[in-house]
Amino acid sequence: MILLREQEQLIAIKLEATYGTDAVPVGAQAVMVQDITVNALEGDNPARNNFVGFQGNQGTIRLNTWCSIDFAIELSGSGEVDEAPYYDAIYKISGHGQLITEDEDVAYSIVSEDLDSATIYYMVGEHKHTLRGVRGTLTLETGTKQIPRWRFRGAGLYTPPAYVDGGLAGVDFSTVLKPLPWTKETASVSLHGVTLNAATFTFEQGQPPEYLALTGQEEIELPTRSSTVNVKFREDELSVANWFEISRAGTTGALAMQHGVNVTHAGRILEFAAPNVDVSNVTRGFEQGIAMLTLTCSIIPTAKNTDYSFTHR
């Protein structure tokens, strides 16, 4: 009897030339992920509820089938300022365009048309699930007590699972860089021009994938976006910033986060910027006996696709 082990899970991603057509990822396109959840058989499956003169189930009819996938990947750069991280396919299938400036940086910004898609092979030992036409949304999770990482939540078109003798060959993670910790030496956060002594910073793209099933079309779309940031930091004097009044007044301003701050971090730096952000909510809590504020911020675009951008350098 075959034994499928949790630690033998593996994911490989490759961008598709044609939407929904298997791009055939190979071992070289494997990404090192954690906290994987794959629902390989999603869909609408309504019950038949006819009156037939007696009690009991009448079964269901499967109308359509798709897949969902959720995983996290450590935030690490390529080691080169103008080279994208090895997992940058997840940026592109989350509705971001890429611009590489030689010897400077790799920048990502929102796009609304001609979205990229990918094929993901999800392996459990020698069992392969193929998710085609995958698109999704990102969350950036950072903090002083956690390893910085991206979380990807996506959906894809269904393909029957298959057995692959020997599994996915050619996987090599030896060149993957370790992530920088998120500390006072490596990270900074500012909001409305105020530098925060932050404990956590979480960005939610807020663009969930939707499975669209029509008579002439089957596709994963990203139809809506509502991006937010949550930041928790040590409460300072009201003279520095009265966040309660800023929230009440609906004042907007810029937000910036940088992970990796000097030349020794080159090739592993991430800069996140949102030019127009309000403070939707303010809550106070206490950690280790110290007052901490948590701000929930809405990212408000002033024109199409101006919500935010992020850059590797």
Confidence class for position 2, pLDDT limits 50, 70, 90? confident
**Average pLDDT in the 163-179 region?**
93
φ, ψ at 194 (rounded to 5°): -105, 125
Q: What pLDDT, in 10s, does the model give residues 190-244?
A: 999 999 999 999 999 999 999 999 999 999 999 999 999 999 999 999 999 999 9
pTM metric for this prediction? 0.94
Cβ neighbours of residue 32 closer than 8 Å, sequence gap 6 or more: 73, 74, 173, 176
Q: Which of 27, 77, 67 is nearest to 11 (CA)?
A: 27
Percent of the chain with pLDDT over 70: 100
Give the DSSP letter string of 158-195.
----EE-TT-STT---TTPPPPPP-STTTEEEEETTEE
Question: Would the pLDDT of 3 be above 90?
Answer: no
Instruction: Give the mean pLDDT of the chain.
Output: 96
Give residue 38's pLDDT: 96
Give residue 241's pLDDT: 96
Question: Would the pLDDT of 37 be above 90?
Answer: yes
Confidence class for position 4, pLDDT limits 50, 70, 90? confident
Q: What pLDDT, in 10s, does the model give residues 104-149?
A: 999 999 999 999 999 999 999 999 999 999 999 999 999 999 999 9
In whole angstroms, give the CA distance from residue 312 to residue 259: 10
Give residue 206's pLDDT: 98
Q: Which of 81, 112, 147 is nearest to 223 (CA)?
A: 112
Q: How many CB atoms lie within 10 A of CB 65?
A: 18
Question: Would the pLDDT of 1 be above 80?
Answer: no
Question: Would the pLDDT of 186 be above 80?
Answer: yes
In whole angstroms, give the CA distance from residue 254 to residue 191: 6
